[in-house]
Amino acid sequence: MSNRNFRELLEAQWAKGNFVCVGLDSEFMKLPDAIGKENPLDAILAFNVAIVDATRDLACVYKPNIAFYEAYGDLGAKALRNTVSHINKIAPGVPIILDAKRGDIGSTNHGYARSAFGEVWGFHADAITVSPYLGGEALKPFLDNKEKGIIVLCRTSNPGAGEFQDLSVEPTYEDAMKWGLAMESPNRDPDACWVSNKLPLYQHVAYRVSREWNANRNCALVVGATYPEELEDVRKIVGGMPILIPGIGAQGGDLEATVAAGKDSRGRGMIINSSRGIIFASNGPDFADAARRETIKLRDAIRQCLARTEEVSHG
């Protein structure tokens, strides 16, 4: 598994027209009774196996949220490792994002990276979500993993996201120059060439990640479908960088607006996540069939949105 490259796996799925990220937020208490709940390990694993088997030809990505596994200690961790092993066996071309939102000082992040990516005791993930709050230097243990995807929180989908993410931040003159937001004046006066000198924090993150942290071409961003205008802003900043887009389905994101704002110049670049809307589409014995139907429905809707945006652009 060491030769798996997250970006290459993504590109192969996009080429098939697959953009749906199936979020394996397999909360034990919400699992259907048909699974049997005597043991969290057996129940979570059986549920995930059924979901993966039903969607393996449709999913662009699988994204287990580590919280729903850590809650059950060793049993949950084993369920996650066995889930990843099953995905790699039954759907080897589908990458796996560990949704862990890690972020700490560099030495701690070495441990987190080994946990996420390690092939002995780790979870064998192809990518991980991380927080930018401690800066790029602290994230080096993740960023230095050239084959892995490092997906940085940028503009998240939750209602309170703007509390910090919308704060106005003034880039330095040097950053503005590097990011193409200012021009050098003959007398080197920053005020003469950098007037619109404040950006929302989430845009600052987008510039920093795309211009400075992406040397290995392994970065991506998280931007919620619940904020399509902000998603459009980020897409303009980052070009063809992958964007993980949560918020479709249970959180109420508008798919048409999301696709129009989130697609790159090739009509790709999107990892559109649905978790509860797919895996808990039914709480009966037909839960896996229901998950397949919902995945097909979302996949086809994304394709239709892309076709309409192409018609508009060529109209």
**In this predicted model, what pLDDT tens digit does every residue of 223-236 receive, in sequence order?**
999 999 999 999 99
User: Is the predicted pLDDT of residue 51 greater than 60, yes or no?
Assistant: yes
| Mean pLDDT, rounded, for 270-274 | 97
Residue 127 lies in a domain: yes
**In this predicted model, what pLDDT tens digit does every residue of 169-195 receive, in sequence order?**
988 888 888 888 876 665 556 555 555
101 catalytically annotated: yes
Average pLDDT of the chain to the nearest whole number? 92
Residue 14 lies in a domain: yes
Residue 208 lies in a domain: no
Domains: count for the chain = 1
pLDDT category at 196 given cuts 50, 70, 90 is low
What CATH code is carried by the domain that includes residue 133? 3.20.20.70
**In this predicted model, what pLDDT tens digit does every residue of 125-145 receive, in sequence order?**
999 999 999 999 999 999 999
CA distance linking residue 228 with residue 262, whole number of Å: 8
More confident residue, 172 or 306: 306
Range(s) of the domain holding residue 129: 6-167+216-314
Say if CB 285 and CB 32 are below 8 A apart: yes
CA distance linking residue 98 with residue 270, whole number of Å: 17
Say if CB 106 and CB 68 are below 8 A apart: no
Of 37, 101, 140, 297, the active-site residue reads: 101
Query: Which residues neighbour 51 within 8 Å (Cβ) at sequence distance 6 or greater?
Result: 22, 24, 26, 278, 279, 287, 288, 291
pLDDT category at 255 given cuts 50, 70, 90 is very high
At 173 the pLDDT is: 80
